[in-house]
Structure 1
Amino acid sequence: MIEKTIYSFTLKARSPLSFGSLESEIDMDLINTDTKIKVSGNSIGGALREYLEGNAVDKKEIILAYMGGVAEQEDSEDAQDEESQPKEKFIESSIYISDGELNPASVEEKEGTSINSETGTATKHQKYKFKYFPRGTKLTFTIECDVENGKPVGKNIEITFDELVKGWAAGFHKGEIRLGREKSNGFGLLNVVSLEKKVFSFNDVEAIEEYIFHRKEKQFEEVDLAFLPDTNEINSTIAFTLSGSFPYGVYQAFYDKSLSKEKATVTGLQQVDDQYYIPATSIKGLLRHEVSLLLQQISGSEDKVNAKCGELFGDTNQQGKLRFTDVFLENSERIRIEREAKDSSTLPIYIKIDRLTGGALNNKLKHQNEVIGESKIEIELRDEGVPLEDNPYVFPLVYVLRRIGSGKVPIGGRTVIGLGEFHAHKTIINNKGEKLEIPNLTDRKELDDRVVNQPLEYLVDKPDVLQLLEKSFKSFERWVNDETQTV
């Protein structure tokens, strides 16, 4: 019996959503009407296909059966002229994905700074803005398929349409399916609010007429979401975490709208919902810079450094292995300076110096909002099925994170005066539920004597950590020297 099965997804954004490109004012993935803004079905379908392609050893047959595409044509034994045979054939999609409706479609604007990969600092005059949909935005779309015995008509495959849809729902729920751009910087995360289903049977004339004339009147039925995994379940990523604080304050040169009542222009960290945060792009740029320095020490080849950084962090030709999120400050406080004049600002004030004369420039006082607080730096590395110690990307990440957590690599701006120093006592790796804690050193003397000169000897009391770092370094070294295939 042939049936048409239609599923309706309602998703809620738990991180900002962004579509289109930075270079264009027109968001190519959005469809604007007089009353609604919609995400194109092609954009949603692309994310669903990408998830299937990266979520199993071999799902090519399933992808082609449901979503179509180009398949290789088998050679015919009877063919006399090989060149006359088509080597590829196009298979039509068995499913239809509607455009997704955004509600409410309120648009906000985010400011970012381009990070120089060579210096690890913000590039001058390279701030940019882009529009996005905030957390809480709902996205609704449908997926439908004509099925026979639960599978696409005429297709003999293992997975039913119901199983496929539930797999996609689980992918959204675990954060493995993200929509839009800036996905490596924490955007595009959505939770499944509801999943509904309705079925039309085509077993007789009355059923066909019911579908043709009254299909819009038929109500969807709620699907029980008990099949969704626990939100604490580890997805297909290796998570790296640094939990610590900025004891001396952290600063970035964004216009601070919250202090607009000050007499002078004030710059500082960005805020969302009255909470300070450091953009994911800043953390990504900082790590890329530090990893590139490490690569230069091992390879000495600029071309190889660029190629390996592109593989790990992504570039214009490929998607990277890492995902970053904005770093929010908890229990934050502004640094205040007590002054005699009651009407003067209590914010830190700096005098801009003329580089030619060495004297102070007239009317060039800079007012800054420097913030202390606690933060958690979280990075996800895509797990592709190899043991932790054989993954060449583990060592450089641990190396850089430990340097950040030990205060050796500051975050943000004005670091030459001591801002941005981050203290975290340990780097935590969460690999499919198994946690490994690697201690960081925050004492200045220990940093100089042990991290720089004897980076591993102090771990003799943690043989599991020492063994992991030694083996992962060898995997990293082989990867840099192209002695093994990339993961």
Structure 2
Amino acid sequence: MNSIIKRKVFLVRIQFISPVSISSGENEWTDADVLRDFDGNPFIPGSSLAGAMRAYLNKKKTQPCLMGYSGAFSEGKMSSLYISDLNFDEKTVAGVRDGVKLNEKKVSVTEGKYDREVLEAGSKGHFYMELAVRQKDDEEQMEEELATVFRGINEGEIRLGGKKTRGFGKLAVVSLAVRTFDKNNYLEYAKAYREDAWEKRQDELDKWLQGCAFQKRMIHVEVPLRLKGGISVRQYAARKNEPDFTQLMDHGVPVIPGSSFAGAIRHRIQKILGEITANGAKLPIAVQALLDNAFGYVEGNGACVSNIIIDEAEIEEARPLTIVRTGISRFEAAVRDGALYKERTYVDGRLKLRAAVRIQKNPEDTRWMLGILLLALKDLQNGFLSVGGQTAVGRGVFEPDGELRIDGKAGIEDGIISEMFRSLV
């Protein structure tokens, strides 16, 4: 017999640092509407939380862990961890993100337009976790795995929803309260999920984070940048008397989406790899295969998740600038009828581009992936690579605003790039 000897209930309060999109599978308002309950309130199902956590623990369904497993010959164990839905504490702000698929020449692909509903950054919520500890369980190991999950969330390595590798779904644990129920206080368990039962509970987040023997799954890169001019990542205005085009905004702040950075960086990396092979260097595999491994792909029944993650960047201290422009006919070199439009952009802002590289099983793969990413980021940092629209007229150009840091360390990128070249040549 392996009966339950105690239950630990966790109240986890979180805040989203970036937009989040949990699709319901419906397309009534957009191509991917946010999941909502019967009353129209958005929520994130516990199954999404559990899936993200299990994937981060790197445990297959046949491998024992606190989230259960199913082995051969009818062996297995049900999950010891129960996870509730994530509910938001206050009214969330929903928005719509437009997207379009571009080819290698930054030209839109036919029928490549899409949109999705998102919940903007800053949304706060909470969920419950319940750990059932049985007589034969290794409680210490189970708590170690839980602490790893909490640390992974706050390191930005566990994310929720769609477009996770392009900046969406990043969150942080704000507070963590724990209550233990055993034979001495089992009657109190009836109130475990009542919010008023947690009012005076102490925050134990630091205790759980510091007591974790944490091993990072990613290498994190931070690049401080300053806009040399304006930026043009457009969203279309729908209000009367508003400019026809405005810079993409989220929770009232101008932002550059991770997809815009990723597209520019991927194109630059492809160009760099082409120049390397043209000069006689031997790559471990073909250029396209390297790109697919780094940035992911979907082709037929085959797919690979992106191993380079690029966050959405908020632009700080930027000044709004409204411009009235008109379209010009290139054939006639004259103004086109009805082509007058107004645009609001932002200039002279500061931002931090944050990217991460998943640590691969083969150290060589990690080395080249990080090195080639750093080469492209150096081009971006020094104004040789621009991002967004209207780059031909000076938009989306940056200059350094501080030292590039890798896992918090500055001044080591040149050594990593050199090491990558030595492994490729």
Q: TM-score range by the shorter chain?
A: 0.7 to 0.9
Shift of 1:256: 4.7
Q: Structure 2 matches for 1:270-419, cutoff 5 A?
A: 270-298=248-276, 304-316=286-298, 317-335=303-321, 347-353=323-329, 355=331, 357-375=332-350, 376-384=352-360, 391-419=367-395
Between the aligned partners of 2:34 and 2:325, the Cα distance in structure 1 is 44
Give the Å deviation of 1:385: 8.0
Q: For the structure 1 residues 125 and 65, does the alpha-carbon distance in structure 2 shift closer, same or farther, using more than 3 Å as the test?
A: closer
Q: What's the CA shift string for 1:334-372, capped at 9, x where partnerless?
A: 457xxxxxxxxxx242333154x4543222224333432
What is aligned with 1:473? 421
Contact 1:402 1:427 (8 Å CA) reproduced: no
1:420-459 deviation digits (Å, cap 9, x = unpaired): 222237761313x322266xxxxxxxxxxxxxxxxxxxxx
Asked if the contact 1:96–1:144 (Cα under 8 Å) also holds between the matched residues in 2, the reply is: yes
Cα pair 1:37 1:105 within 8 Å, conserved: no
Aligned residue type for 2:23: G
Residues in 1 aligned to 2:66 and 2:250: alpha-carbon distance in whole angstroms: 40
Residues of 2 paired with 1:165 and 1:7: CA distance? 11
1:2 alignment partner in structure 2: 5
The Cα RMSD (Å) is 3.8
Instruction: Give the C-alpha shift of residue 389 in structure 1.
Output: 11
Q: Aligned residue for 1:422?
A: 398
What secondary structure does 2:410 align onto?
strand
Aligned to 2:116: 130
Question: Deviation of residue 312 (structure 1)?
Answer: 0.8
- How far apart, CA to CA, are the structure 1 residues paired with 2:316 and 2:189? 56
Give the partner amino acid of 1:118: E
Structure 1 unpaired stretches of 5+: 54-58, 74-85, 337-346, 439-464, 479-487
Counterpart residue type for residue 255 of structure 2: Y
Q: How far has the Cα of 1:268 moved from its partner?
A: 3.5
Deviations, residues 253-296 of structure 1 (Å, cap 9, x unaligned): 422569x536xx53241123443222211111111122222334
CA distance in 2, matches of 1:65, 1:274: 42
Q: Does the 8 Å CA contact 2:122/2:251 hold for their aligned counterparts?
A: no
The alignment partner of 1:32 has SS state of coil
Per-residue displacement from partner, 1:104-130 (whole Å, max 9, x unpaired)?
A: 253511323334251245557744322
Partner-residue secondary structure (3-state), 1:66: coil
Q: Distance in 2 between matches of 1:334 and 1:114?
A: 25
Letter in 1 for 2:250: V
Given candidates 72, 95, 105, the residue that maps to 1:109 is 95
8 Å CA contact 1:412–1:420 kept in 2: the answer is yes
User: Matches of 2:92 and 2:341 in 1, distance apart?
Assistant: 34
Q: 1:182 aligns with which of 129, 143, 163?
A: 163
Gap change, CA 1:224 and 1:215, over 3 Å in 2: closer
Matches of 1:111 and 1:67, distance apart in 2: 34
Whether 2:4 is the aligned partner of 1:18: answer no
**Any conservation in 2 of the 1:348–1:370 contact (CA below 8 Å)?**
no
Matched with 1:344 is: none
Is this contact kept in 2: 1:121–1:286, CA < 8 A? no
Residue 204 of structure 2 aligns with an amino acid whose one-letter code is D
CA distance in 2, matches of 1:290, 1:22: 34
- Structure 2 gaps of 5+ residues are none
Within 5 A, what are the aligned runs for 1:42-191? 42-53=47-58, 64-71=64-71, 73=72, 86=73, 89-120=75-106, 123=109, 126-148=112-134, 153-155=135-137, 157=138, 159-191=140-172
Q: 1:39 aligns with which of 28, 44, 62?
A: 44
SS in 2 for 1:17: coil
1:61 Cα deviation from its structure 2 partner: 10
CA contact (8 A) 2:61 2:70 kept: no
Contact 2:167 2:257 in 1 (8 A): no
Is the Cα–Cα contact under 8 Å of residues 313 and 322 in structure 1 kept in the other structure?
A: yes
Give the TM-score normalised by the residue count of structure 1: 0.71
Contact 2:357-2:366 within 8 A present in 1 as well: no
Q: 1:389, 1:471 within 8 Å by CA — same for their partners in 2? A: no
Displacement after TM superposition at 1:401 (Å): 1.6
Tell me the SS of whatever aligns to 1:391: helix
SS at match of 2:368: coil
Pick closer, same or farther for the CA change 1:359–1:234 going to 2, 3 Å: farther
Aligned residue pairs total 404
CA distance 1:424–1:165, shift in 2 (3 Å): same
Q: Of the candidates 202, 222, 227, which is equivalent to residue 222 of structure 1?
A: 202
Q: Give the distance between the partners of 1:286 and 1:51, measured in 2 at CA.
A: 28
Counterpart-to-counterpart distance in 2, 1:111 and 1:254: 8
- Tell me the secondary structure at the aligned position of residue 331 of structure 1: coil
Q: 1:99 to 1:275 in 2, by over 3 A?
A: closer
Aligned to 1:239: 220
Quickly say closer, same or farther: Cα 1:43–1:289, change in 2 above 3 A. same
Q: 1:427 to 1:398 in 2, by over 3 A?
A: farther
Cα distance per residue 1:22-57 (max 9 Å; x no partner) = 88459799461337443211111011111211xxxx
Tell me the secondary structure at the aligned position of residue 64 of structure 2.
helix
In structure 2, what is the Cα distance between the partners aligned to 1:377 and 1:250? 14
